Structure 1
C-alpha cells in the first residue's frame, strides 16, 4: 500500500512540505476543473481562453507555441501573480512557420515540430508530434464503478475555502514509461511511483527523497514535460491510478511546457534551452581524479602527507580537496581557516600547486554561533528570520549534536550576498580553484526572507541562489568558468558544473542506488555528475572499494572521498594496483571524455547515459539502471556484489570486450563473471576511441599526441571536439584496403587498428585518397597509421 507509513520512520531534519489535497470516496464535492472554454483573443502562436469549471468559476488559460517543438500551457484563476518564481526563460519568437486554425468548437496551433489541439466543449487538450502522432492528452474520464471521479483534472482544489493547489491529469498509455525528475534513487523507470519535488538531505541514497529535484520528465512516447514552479510539485506517475499520470502544483498558477522529440536526445537540449542552462564546459583538469583528505579532523601536515603519497605511489591525480576541518568546528561555515591546524594556508596552497594539484575547499551556506562573524550577520539581518522577528537557528547536521545549531545566510538580501562574497573572495585570491558547495536543502517552512519570500517559496530556489553566487564569484576571480562541486540542485542547476551524489553509505546497494540517481539526473540534462568512490559514511570493504573505484573512475567526474581513508594503498596491494590501473585508463581516455563534455556543454546530453537514451527503440532498456553508456561508445556494467557476477544486456549490434576483444552480437543478455581486477567494459563495434598513450599531468591545451583506437569491423567515424576545434576521422575496411579520411587541426595523430576476430587482413592503406607507402606498427605489433605529423 503506497500511502502507508514505513515500518521504520524516515529520520528527517529537513522540513516536509505541507500536505497536498487527498480526496476520499465520500468527498463528493470533488475538485474544480475546466469543462468548457471560449476564445478571448488569439495570435499566430497563441490562444487566450476563458475557462469555466463545472461549478461556474472562471479561470484564465493561455496556450502558446513558444519554440518550434515546445508548447506552454498556463492556467491561472483571476489574475497573474507577479511574485511567482519562474525558471523558464522567455524564448524568442520561433522563426519557423506557425499556424492557428479556429472552428466553432476547437482551436489548433501547429508549430514546426509540435501541434496542440484544444476542444472547447467539453474542454480537452491533445498534443501531437509533427507527423500527427499523438504524444499526450488530458484524461478526465477515469471514474470508479459508481461514477466517482478518480483523478484530479485540469483545475484546482480548495481546502476550507482556500485554493491550495492546481492540478492536471494525462492519460498514461499502457506501454508508456517515464524518466527523470532529478537525482531520484528509486528505480530508473518512474512508472508506478510518486515523486515529490522537495529538496532533502536524506543522509543517504536509498530514498525517493533527494538532494536534487527537477520537475521535468521524459516519456518513451517522445515528449518531455517541465512544470515551471519552485514549489513542492508532486507527480503521480501511475501509482494511484495506473491509467493516468498526474501533477499537483501548490503554486499560484499551473504552468507547464510540453516538449516534442521525436527522440529522447532531441528533448533534453530543448529543455536545457528553455531553462537557459547548459552545463559549463569544465577545464580539462576537472576531468582528472579528485582526491580528498576526507571528512575527518584534518591539518596541514596530514593533507600534505596525503598529497605527497599520491605522487610517490604514482596515482594520477589532478585535484586535491580539503574538507570541512580547514575551518574551525562550531564556526562552519564562516570561510575562515583554523589557524591552529592550518597555520600557513597560503603556503599550503602554494605547495600543493607546486606539486601540480588544483585545490578544492569545502563550504556551506550556514554559520555557527561560535564564529566572530556571527554577531555581524545577526545585527545586520543577514540570516533568514523566524516569523517572530528573531534569527532562525536549528540543527542542520543530522540531529546528532555533532555541530552546534546554525543559521542560514539569506541570499535574497543584497547586502548579505555582498558581505558573504567578501568572506569567500580571499580564498580564491589565495589560489583555491574550486569550492565544494555542500548543503542548502534545509530552508525551513517557517522562515521569512529579506525579500518577503516564505520558507515554502524559497526552499527549492535557495540552492540555485547559493550556487549562482559562488559560481559567479569563481568566474570573476579566476577568469575561468565558475565550476563548483555541488550537492543540492534544482531545475537549471546544470549551469553550475560539477554535482555529486551526496552522502551514500559504504555498501553495494548504495553503490547501485547511486548509479540510479545519476542516470535519472542525466535525463534532466545534468551532465557533469559524480559520487564518492566507495561511499561516504563508514569504511568500505576491500571488494567494495575496488568495485566502486572501477565505476567511479569511468563516471563523468571522479572523486575519492569519505569519512575514512580512500587512499588505495590503505586497502592493500591488490586494491592499490587495480585503482592505479583504472585511474590510468581514465587519463588515457581524457580526449574521449573531454569531447563528450563539449557535446554536453552544447546540448546538455549527459556523459553518463541511461541505456534507453542511446537505444530508445529497445524496450529492454526502459528499466535498465545497473549498466550505462559512458559517452556514445563505451558500455559499462559495474559489479555490485561480492560474488563478482551479473547479467549484462547487449543491445542490437556488435560489441567488443575491452579486455579480451571478443565480439558479442546483440540483442542478448549474458551472465558475466568478472575477476576482482576486471570491470565489464565493452566498446561499440566500429567505434573510433581517441586516447592518450599514457596517463600524465593535464594541460589546458589540445591533447597531443593523439592515438585513435579503431575497433573496426567495417566502417566507423569520429567527430572529436578539443580546444582547437573539431577533428573528423573516417575509417572503412574495403576488401583488403583500410581507407582513412582525416580533417582537423590536430598535428600529431595516429590511428591504431585494434585486431578483432574476423577482421579482414589489411594489405593497403589510403589516407584522404592517397596510398600510404609504409604503414607503421606499434611496439606490440598493431597496425598504426600516422594521420597527421607534428
Structure 2
C-alpha cells in the first residue's frame, strides 16, 4: 500500500507518524528494546500528546533477527499465527554504550545508533546488508480510522529482490507492487494462488514478514531505493535472515518455517489425468492406461479429476454410481497394474451434497456473524466451506477422506482454498482477515496429516494449488490454471522459479497448459519441460492430454522424456534429500547455484534441476532457443556435445530434444532400468563422469550403492564402497564395465 505522494507529501486520506527519536533503550537477557517517539525531544512536557513506537529486537534462531514494531499494545490478537518449527531460545550478544545499542545473533547484528535519528543497521561480514533509515517506520491512520504500520528497508545499487510466492511476472521483483492475498486468478495476472510474505535478495539477506493477513509490498515502487512492507493494525513483526548466499538464506528460512518432508519415489513418475470437464467412465480410464502401456510410456499415477463425483454434489466424496458403479473393484484393478491413484477434492461443500446437511447440523461449516451457514453459488450451487479451525470438523472431513483411502486411493489433489470469505465467523474466533490466506495451511495440513498417519512417513503426497508461508511442509504444489500456449508456458516457469525462491522444494504444472487445447507443437515442447520438473502431470480442462491425441511424434517425445526422467531417479533421489535436509528446491533458479555470476541474476527462461543439470525449455515451434551457460565446459546430456562458458548460446532443437546440460565436475548416477521409479542399485547403475578436474574427490550415492570418485593428475579411480549389482562408468561418451569394486582410468 502506498502512503506517500512523491518525496515530500502524504497521500490524501492518510495521516503518517514517523518514529524518529530514541527516548530510551532497555534490554533483557535475550532482547533489546527501543522506545521511539514520533518527534525529537523539546524538553520537559515533550512526552505529552505524543505517539511512540516500541521496537523490540530478538532472535528466534542463529543468524536471524526478529523486529517487532508496536504502536498500541492493547489490541486483541485472536490469530491465526504462522507456526515456526525452527524458532526457539537462541543465544544473543547485547552491547549498549553511549553511542550504540547492538544485538547480535550468530554473524548478524542489528545496530541502533544512539544520539541520532532512529536508524537500525543490519550488519554481517563487516558490511551493512540493509537499514531501517530515519523516517523508515510509519504509524498510519486513514480517514476511516483504520491503522497500519509500515517498514522501509534500504536497497543498495544492484540489490535485487526475489520470491513473495508463486508470481507469474518478472522473477526479479524490483519495481513491483505485490499484495500477499491468495486469489483464484489463473497464471496471467498479478494475482496468485500461493502468496508468501518472504523475499530474498542477492545482497546476503532475506526478509520474512510474520503476518498471515494481507501484507503489501512496495519493492522499490514507492521509494525506489527502499523495500516497503505494511500491514493493517497496530503492530508489524518481521525477521531479517542472513545468508550470505541465496541458498543459505533459503536454508535458514525453511529451517524457521518448516522444510518439505520426503515424498514417495512413485510420485516422481508420470501422472495422467482424466482432465477436468471431459467425459469419462471406467472404460475411458482403462483405455487411457492401456494406451500408455501399448505405447511403452511408463505411468506411475492415474488421477481422477472432479467429476469422479456427481455434478451439483461436489464435494460429497462419493463416486458417481453411473460412471463408476464398482469403485473398489476398479481401484483394485488399477493397483494390480502397479499404479497409484489420486482423486480431486476441495473444501467446498455443495448444498445438494449429503455432507452439507451433516456439516450444517454438526457445526462443521463456516458461519456468518448471524449464525447462519456462509453460502454462495460461485463454484457449486449453495456451496459452504469446511471450518478447519474446528477440530471436530477436521475429524469429520478427514473421516470421509479415510473411506476413500480404504477403497484404495493413495493421494489427494487438494484444489482451491483461495476464495475464502472475510465476512464470516470462525469456530476458534480467528480473525477473518488473517484466515483468508491461512486457510490453505489448515486445509492442506489436515489432508496431509491424514495421509501421513494412514500411509506412513515418506508416503504422503498431495497435489495442492494454494499455499502460504510454511505450506512447503505439505508437498507437492502445482502451478494452477495456465493457458495452452508458449507465453503461458513461460509464465508458468516464472511462477515455479518465484515459488522456489519462496522455500517450496517440489513443484509441478499442467503439461500442455490447462485452458484450451494446445497446438501439437506446444504440447511437444511442453513435454520435456514438464518431465524435467520435480513432478510431472498430464492434465487439461476440456480436452485430454493423452500424448496420442497430439500425434505419434508426441507419443515418441513423451516416451523418451518419461524414460529419461526415470533413468535419473538416483540423481533425483539425491537432490530430493537436499530438499528435505537443507530446504533447497529441486527446481532451482540459476542464481541459487551461481550467485557470483551476475548474468544469472535476471534469468527466468531456464533453470537448474538440482545442482548439476541445466534445463532450457524451448518456447517456439521452430526450435530456436537461446540460453546462458556459466563458466566451464558443459556437456549436452542427450548428444554428448560440449559448450564452453560463460556465454550465451543459440541452438535449434527438434521436438525430441531440449538443451539439457551437465555441469562440469559432475558424477551423474543413472539407472540402467528406465521403466520404473523404484530404483534398485542391484539392477544396475551407470556413473557418467563429466569434466572432473585434477584434485576432484566426492562420494556419490545411488540408492543403496555408494561410490568414491577421485581424480589425480594421472588417473581417475572409482571405488564402490557399498551396495551390490552390476555397475559401469561412462567417460567421454564411452561406457566401460567395472571390474569388481574398482574402476581405474
The alignment's TM-score, normalised by the length of structure 1, stands at: 0.88
The aligned residue for residue 527 of structure 2 is: 549
For 1:602, which of 577, 581, 584 is the aligned residue? 581
The aligned residue for residue 421 of structure 2 is: 444
CA separation in 2, counterparts of 1:49 and 1:364? 47
The aligned residue for residue 153 of structure 2 is: 170
For 1:366, which of 348, 357, 361 is the aligned residue? 348
Q: Is residue 366–residue 426 contact of structure 2 (8 Å, CA) maintained in 1?
A: yes
**How far apart are residue 786 of structure 1 and its match?**
4.7
The aligned residue for residue 26 of structure 2 is: 41
Query: Map of 1:678-757 to 2, 5 A cutoff?
Result: 678-699=657-678, 704-715=683-694, 716-721=696-701, 724=704, 727-732=706-711, 734-735=713-714, 737-743=715-721, 745-748=722-725, 750-755=727-732
Q: Is residue 748–residue 788 contact of structure 1 (8 Å, CA) maintained in 2?
A: no
CA separation in 1, counterparts of 2:620 and 2:383? 39
Give the 3 Å change call, closer, same or farther, for CA 89–602 of structure 1 in structure 2.
closer
Report whether the alignment pairs 1:31 with 2:16: yes
Give the 3 Å change call, closer, same or farther, for CA 422–20 of structure 1 in structure 2.
farther
The aligned residue for residue 738 of structure 2 is: 785
CA separation in 2, counterparts of 1:467 and 1:431? 20
**How far apart are residue 698 of structure 1 and its match?**
3.2
For 1:246, which of 214, 223, 228 is the aligned residue? 228
The aligned residue for residue 117 of structure 2 is: 122
**How far apart are residue 207 of structure 1 and its match?**
1.7
Q: Which runs of 5+ in 1 are unaligned?
A: 1-18, 142-152, 398-402, 757-780
The aligned residue for residue 180 of structure 1 is: 163
Give the 3 Å change call, closer, same or farther, for CA 161–574 of structure 1 in structure 2.
closer
Give the 3 Å change call, closer, same or farther, for CA 718–363 of structure 1 in structure 2.
farther
Q: Is residue 654–residue 684 contact of structure 1 (8 Å, CA) maintained in 2?
A: yes
Cα shift readout 1:580-637 (whole Å, capped 9, x = no counterpart):
1111100100111111111101111011000111111111111100000111111100
Query: Map of 1:95-494 to 2, 5 A cutoff?
Result: 98-120=92-114, 121-129=116-124, 131-140=125-134, 153-160=136-143, 162-202=145-185, 204-275=186-257, 277-295=258-276, 296-397=278-379, 403-481=380-458, 482-494=460-472
Query: Map of 1:612-623 to 2, 5 A cutoff?
Result: 612-623=591-602
Give the 3 Å change call, closer, same or farther, for CA 236–786 of structure 1 in structure 2.
farther
Corresponding residue SS for 1:217: strand
Query: Map of 1:583-662 to 2, 5 A cutoff?
Result: 583-662=562-641
CA separation in 2, counterparts of 1:396 and 1:588? 44
**How far apart are residue 337 of structure 1 and its match?**
1.2
Give the 3 Å change call, closer, same or farther, for CA 38–787 of structure 1 in structure 2.
farther
**How far apart are residue 93 of structure 1 and its match?**
2.7
Corresponding residue SS for 2:388: coil
Give the 3 Å change call, closer, same or farther, for CA 561–76 of structure 1 in structure 2.
same
Give the 3 Å change call, closer, same or farther, for CA 160–30 of structure 1 in structure 2.
closer
Give the 3 Å change call, closer, same or farther, for CA 704–137 of structure 1 in structure 2.
farther
The aligned residue for residue 761 of structure 1 is: none
Corresponding residue SS for 2:90: coil
CA separation in 2, counterparts of 1:783 and 1:700? 21
The aligned residue for residue 518 of structure 1 is: 496
CA separation in 2, counterparts of 1:707 and 1:520? 34
CA separation in 1, counterparts of 2:544 and 2:144? 57
Q: Is residue 687–residue 717 contact of structure 1 (8 Å, CA) maintained in 2?
A: no
Report whether the alignment pairs 1:70 with 2:64: yes
CA separation in 2, counterparts of 1:503 and 1:319? 20
Corresponding residue SS for 2:602: coil
Q: Is residue 669–residue 702 contact of structure 2 (8 Å, CA) maintained in 1?
A: no
CA separation in 1, counterparts of 2:665 and 2:727? 17
Give the 3 Å change call, closer, same or farther, for CA 32–630 of structure 1 in structure 2.
same
**How far apart are residue 79 of structure 1 and its match?**
1.9
Corresponding residue SS for 1:497: coil
Give the 3 Å change call, closer, same or farther, for CA 704–93 of structure 1 in structure 2.
farther
**How far apart are residue 396 of structure 1 and its match?**
3.6
Counting matched residue pairs gives 723
Cα shift readout 1:73-129 (whole Å, capped 9, x = no counterpart):
01112326542433234723336xx42111124201222221110124411101011
User: Which piece of structure 1 moves more, 633-642 or 37-46?
Assistant: 37-46
The alignment's TM-score, normalised by the length of structure 2, stands at: 0.93
Give the 3 Å change call, closer, same or farther, for CA 26–157 of structure 1 in structure 2.
closer
Q: Is residue 157–residue 164 contact of structure 1 (8 Å, CA) maintained in 2?
A: yes
Q: Is residue 187–residue 625 contact of structure 1 (8 Å, CA) maintained in 2?
A: yes
Give the 3 Å change call, closer, same or farther, for CA 722–212 of structure 1 in structure 2.
farther
Q: Is residue 283–residue 700 contact of structure 1 (8 Å, CA) maintained in 2?
A: no
